[in-house]
Chains A and B, each alone.
Chain A
Amino acid sequence: MVEARGELIASRRMGVFQHHTIVVPELADRARPGQLASFAVGGRTSALLGRRTLPLAAITPSGTYGGTIEVVVDPVRDAGMRWLADLRVHDEVDVIGPLGRAFPLPAHGVDSMVLGVGASAAPLGWLSTALRDRGCRVELMLAGETDRHLVGVIEARRVIGTVSVVTPGPTGLLPVLRDELQRTLRATEISVVYAAARAPELSAVAEVARPFGVTVQALLDEAMPCGTGLCGSCEVPVTGSDGISRTIRCCTEGAVIRGDLVEWDRYVAELWETVR
């Protein structure tokens, strides 16, 4: 884990999101797909105390400018994300990373599915390449509120060949996502699903995958206000292999967590808990 000051060297629109490339050589040398970077937002006199912790979309360990990292920012999520999205080329930002647990890659080729929703899907192109390099057959499914919320479809088609896209039906995104995932799992021999999304979507993925006996490796793209484990406010309730319920910190012990271990109902309810 390194603390560094990174310089933004490229920024482009990616549908409704903003894609940033930031020079952080110390971080780019050691990150793996599924790991995170945490950004201080608001500048030197910021009134925003929390950091914004995002999955790394890609790294280039030795680019023209030195090692770079890439992230995809959803500017409508909150004021901090808006600040991050509005950074201009040559602006500097405090970065800590790489954080957390990466997607565990299989030792040899297996049939796998890679599924992402919105900006959370940012690391999946990188992950798909790593899986393909290990001889895995990859089915890629990208979902979003509109076609402008789909991340990396064109790039993914270059790597994977075929990519299925899910957008909302009359009852919203989740029912369509469930149906598409169920249909794919029925029609294929997929043994592992790598998913990156917010908690409600990941909960649905874990539920659909369970009867098929498919392992879900879920990257939880939820608020992690420090990214370093100091605040303990990104705790996720899990049931350990010993059957005992406990919590783990998403930023340091996640953000990739096995889907069958997470107590999804409790977690999702607590995320938006209000007092009754």
Chain B
Amino acid sequence: MTAESVSADIDLTVNAGGLALQTPVMGASGCCGFGHELLRLGRAGDVSALVTPSLTARTQSSDHRGVLLEVPSGLVSPTDRPSLGTGQLEATRLPWDADGIPPVIVSLAGNLSGAYAEAADQLRRQSLMRRVAGVEVNLACGDRKNDDRPFAHDVFGATKVIARVREQLPRDLPLFAKLSADVHDLVEIARGCVKSGATGLVVSSPLRALSIDLPTLRPRLTPAVTGLSGPAILPITLRAVWELRAAVLSGRLPNVAVVAVGGIARASDAVQALAAGASAVQVGSVMLHDPSSAERVTTGLLAECERLGIPSVKDLIGRAHHD
């Protein structure tokens, strides 16, 4: 039997939080654009789902441009980047109906639970909603009613946002809560989100970080809204995925799909994330360095399944928890 024929027999499909995916490799929010960009590169088919940059209730310019600061194996960037309003999806003529565009997952952001709800409400009313396969709630935004502390750092804040977004969306639409690994009790926050209606969990959003401008010795970006992403945080992502999966296995968390994001750059990273308990992975920062990364991760996953002699990538999920 040739390698090609073995590859053809390997099943890469997964189900993540009610979302049926052709492969476990999704495109992360903020690193894959709205679809135009991957289409122009001929890379739209490389990801099984495209998570949009975060949308807000109204288009906002933010206090910062979306500056990216390069650090070893990572990027430091503001988490409150300029955003498009969900009410303006039509006007911007997104290519979501174009051939080759994968299922679209809309990322929502806000600075009050009501703002998330308003964003979801407006999204639901758009005709482009027919192309929305799921919603990811970006909980890294600061809560204006809680001293700008990120929603993802507070079980009450996170739970409230998920509940209010869930109310606005069709009951059968997959809803993902994007959490931060940089918290005291991740499982507690995850449990609140699942109870409020999240069908999947995405870990981890960028970790809180800081960059100092050398000539002025002042923070380069506002510390409250500065995050680190990229391969530098992979071990933290893996630990967070492991923790959530372990909580499911121990009964502390309801059975829920986990999606790994943060540092997935190679097939070996994706294999580790799946083994730790992720049902799918999102490829982010590395797409900026090499837009073929998603394809390489998928090809490598296939090779890894072949090497392990397993017929379905689903067999990799949670393997690290087995005795």
Q: Contacts A230-B33, A274-B213 known; A49 to B230 CB distance under 8 Å? A: yes
Q: A23-67: contact bitstring with B at CB < 8 Å (1 yes, 0 no)?
A: 000000000000000001000001111110000000000000000
B63 nearest in chain A by CB position: A273
Q: A220-244: contact bitstring with B at CB < 8 Å (1 yes, 0 no)?
A: 0000011011111101000000000
Residues of B within 8 A of A80 (CB): 70
Q: Looking at the complex, which of B74-82, B93-101, B242-250 is the stretch in contact with chain A?
A: B74-82
A42 nearest in chain B by CB position: B289
Among A3, A235, A275, contact of B219 (Cβ-Cβ < 8 Å)? A275
> Does chain B have a CB within 8 A of A186?
no
- A232/B218 in contact, CB under 8 A: no
- B291/A229 in contact, CB under 8 A: no
- B288/A49 in contact, CB under 8 A: yes
Among A49, A94, A232, A252, contact of B66 (Cβ-Cβ < 8 Å)? A232
A44 nearest in chain B by CB position: B290
Give the distance in Å from the alpha carbon of A62 to the alpha carbon of B176 in the complex: 51
Question: Which of the four size classes fits the interface of chain A?
Answer: 20 to 34
Please report the number of residue pairs spanning A and B whose Cβ atoms sit closer than 8 angstroms. 104
Q: Contacts A1-B40, A231-B30, A275-B219 known; A49 to B70 CB distance under 8 Å? A: yes
Nearest-Cβ distance from residue A231 to partner chain B, whole angstroms: 5
Nearest-Cβ distance from residue B256 to partner chain A, whole angstroms: 29
Q: Looking at the complex, which of B105-113, B164-172, B182-190, B220-228 is the stretch in contact with chain A?
A: B220-228
Give the distance in Å from the alpha carbon of A51 to the alpha carbon of B290 in the complex: 8
Majority DSSP secondary structure for residues of A touching B: loop
- A275/B33 in contact, CB under 8 A: no
CB-CB contacts below 8 Å: B52-83 with A: 53, 61, 64-68, 70, 72-75, 77, 81-82
- B288/A51 in contact, CB under 8 A: yes
> Does chain B have a CB within 8 A of A270?
yes
Extra inter-chain contacts (13) besides given A51-B288, A233-B65, A275-B220, CB under 8 Å:
A46-B289, A49-B230, A49-B231, A50-B289, A51-B289, A96-B41, A225-B288, A226-B291, A232-B81, A233-B77, A270-B67, A275-B218, A275-B221
Residues of A in contact with B (beta carbons under 8 Å apart): 1, 3, 40, 46-51, 78, 80, 94, 96, 225-226, 228-233, 235, 247, 252, 270-271, 273-276
5 nearest CB pairs, A to B: A226-B288, A274-B218, A229-B37, A233-B66, A275-B219
